[in-house]
Structure 1
């Protein structure tokens, strides 16, 4: 378990973006294998001795080390050197860099809304035939649409996440007789029971994420809209076929507010309600390890953050240190519905070596390589779920490959002025005390008119 001091120190380092620059030659927790490589899987991409491809994105720390390792054999077999630079400010800076002609060759964009904004600026290169062929072979058609603008495909999906997980300690649940809730009402009752037991506040949460501060709160709202009002209303909301301040959205905000704005519910192990805004999302769930909170809402990718030093002391599993259950439906017999996210490698430079890299990243070979390294999943249909590094990630891959109702993260689909701006900022103001109605009215007013 990590001490309170260490957890806060980690939060300061992450929030400040110290060490955000990650290069392909970096050292980290994954050693570079310099042995012989079987290049049979890589001959289709060609050889490009002396060529360099730069990649930028939001992926940091251990996850960035693993990303770099995932293409190490590709580099050796094709001769392409890949330089990766990660920063928490990528989303805020990439359009400025593109406009100035300083964008990386490839940008790993985490939002279809941002992809559309970059395309509207005239900066993106359409995906090559090889990339499109991989999308058609390995991905559900819905994922293809997320990387498409006006009928032109600009990017294949990369990694994915299943959102709406509630992380908890299996040992605490067993010791105290807590049961996994099967409905939203049961989740509320469980939270109230934990609060009444008096050992600690039930929930721990954090919205801080640099320029993207607030996004974890949007995930809460999206999960409640999907479960309370269903996928049709969710789609109408995301596409602005109903206004942002519709009664269904107000209902979801108010339901989330019973947790995030309630001093009897948060912020266990961290502070009062105001600390929900200032606590880094990377560290917000760690009080569970110290027995200072019981529940934390975060996506499947949060598995990586349970061992922030890259170790293995904390295990993820039904009998491990931590595990997670999906946010339940309104009624026990309702179909399971989940939200999720993913990234899209867009190209800013038209070159064969750039498209070779993008073709590899859209393949089942890359997806299995990366999933095998641990901590992430992919919706690529060629991924073997058994390659996942934990019971939870295997389950998440099976969810993405199955018949579960899936909807992409709503804020990622909305126009950037909303999904990556007013919605994030609105969540912060709302947790800080602004009323639900004032919040949704302000976000609605920010929606672009064209």
Structure 2
């Protein structure tokens, strides 16, 4: 279930915009000119991607084939990567490479002994071209197993420039300014925010941005690892801050009840659809794809974003998600699989998908000119520019029973909090109880 937030959403919402950008350093994106050293070999890759995401990743695999001579085969796993890959390993049909969508799943694979450490060449590239935080999230017990190829920027607030202009407000710099701007938008006839409360994962993202900014990265890391209890005063404070928004009927389209009946695509529709009900919607960079593909909005003109603002004197948060490439020990062609990872680590590979749209790379060496439009360039610059202050989506680091299951754990408890935000302390206690059970299991 968890994976719907950054993959199936982006697959139906890819930023398929203009295709005119060039690769790093200019010139064609083609990966030709290799020595065809892998001719006659096939690399099997498994991942959750489908639709336009699978199609765009295939372009990357085709570029690898053109460079090395290897054939590739992509297998779409659906949401439950862990179960599908486990059954393939047991059946003697393990893929060579898996694109892993959660830190928790990567750790699970490593602890089961399924993964090969990255080759020295790939490790060297990661060390040189990525912020250390991406190496941390790809490592288990000090060994680097995962290469983060695709990232999501989950600290972006999307807005209708017309709605803000009509209200006479500018993109805010702080959370309090955002709520104040929201009231001004509301006074002009639209609700401030469309909140996708029907999808519990969106509420975890709201909480994570507030918590990271307000409590700081050290406490964020401790809470993500459950080394800090959810009953900590910092959690109660973040819930109180979030509750201030949730209980304000001027700010939330349809009020709490309306939000609980709004899924993610509908929240984007309420801002960018034919009958706007709100001026702003918070979610990741993939909002742009829905606005463009489903509602024909010109990104940067009819739909734009501002960074999730700083909360309570903290720094502006940068929360990310991402897909890490790993090589399975039991793959029939793990050696060629590692060559694919070495290729995916290059800006050349990232440029192929960046040009197609619907993609962000954490690779610092990827020329921003490779991206298809100015907004994609801006989100990529923000993600890479955040360096080591980026934090991976907290619920994606948690056991699925707590951080990634519909109708249970954090998703359900934050939906309950949206329904009635009057008791942040009580909600924190319930979150701690659910987390303790999940981490123990």
TM bin, normalised by shorter chain, reads: 0.7 to 0.9
Distance 1:294 1:286 in 2: 11
Quick one: structure 1 residues 258 and 136, their matched pair in 2 at CA, closer, same or farther if it must change by over 3 Å?
Answer: same
Q: How does 1:29-428 map to 2 (within 5 A)?
A: 39-40=32-33, 42-43=34-35, 46-49=37-40, 51-86=41-76, 88-91=78-81, 93-94=83-84, 96-97=86-87, 100-101=90-91, 103-197=94-188, 199-206=189-196, 214-260=200-246, 263-267=249-253, 272-276=258-262, 279=263, 281-289=264-272, 290=274, 291-308=276-293, 313-317=296-300, 320-330=301-311, 335-348=315-328, 349=331, 351-402=334-385, 405-421=389-405, 422-428=409-415
Cα separation, 1, equivalents of 2:390 and 2:103: 16
* Unmatched runs of 5 consecutive residues or more in structure 1: 1-13, 22-28
Q: Provide, for residues 30-83 of structure 1, a one-character-per-residue CA deviation record: whole Å limited to 9, x for no partner.
A: 9xxxx996622x43x72232x333323233322322222223222233333323
Distance 1:430 1:302 in 2: 24
- Contact 1:306 1:314 (8 Å CA) reproduced: yes
The one of the two structures with greater contact order (alpha-carbon pairs below 8 A, sep at least 6) is 2
Q: Give me the whole-angstrom Cα distance separating, in 2, the residues matched to 1:131 and 1:325.
A: 34
Q: Which range moved further: 77-86 or 92-101?
A: 92-101
Partner of 1:396, secondary structure, is helix
C-alpha distance 151-325 of structure 1, shift in aligned 2 (>3 A): same
- 3-state secondary structure, aligned to 1:377: coil
Unaligned runs of 5+ in 2: 13-17, 20-27
Which sits farther off after the overlay, 151-160 or 410-419?
A: 410-419
Aligned partner of residue 370 in structure 1, secondary structure: helix
Distance (Å, rounded) in 2 between the aligned partners of 1:242 and 1:196: 41
SS of corresponding position for 2:258: coil
Taking the aligned partners of 2:413 and 2:89, their CA distance within structure 1 comes to: 28
- The structural deviation recorded for 1:271 is 7.4
Aligned-residue CA RMSD in angstroms?
3.3
C-alpha displacement at 1:169, in angstroms?
0.8
CA distance in 1, matches of 2:335, 2:283: 38
For these two proteins, the number of residue pairs brought into alignment is: 407
- Asked if the contact 1:202/1:268 (under 8 Å) is kept, the reply is no
Does the aligned pair in 2 maintain the 1:204–1:269 contact within 8 Å? no
TM-score relative to the length of structure 1: 0.80
Change (3 A) 1:441 1:151: closer
For the 8 Å contact 2:256–2:418, the answer to whether it is kept is: no
Evaluate the alpha carbon distance shift between residue 94 and residue 196 of structure 1 in structure 2; reply closer, same or farther with a 3 A threshold: farther
Does the 8 Å contact 2:158/2:305 carry over to 1?
Answer: yes
**1:175-217 Cα deviation digits (max 9, x unpaired):** 22122122111111122233333x3332213256xxxx52222
Change (3 A) 1:37 1:295: closer
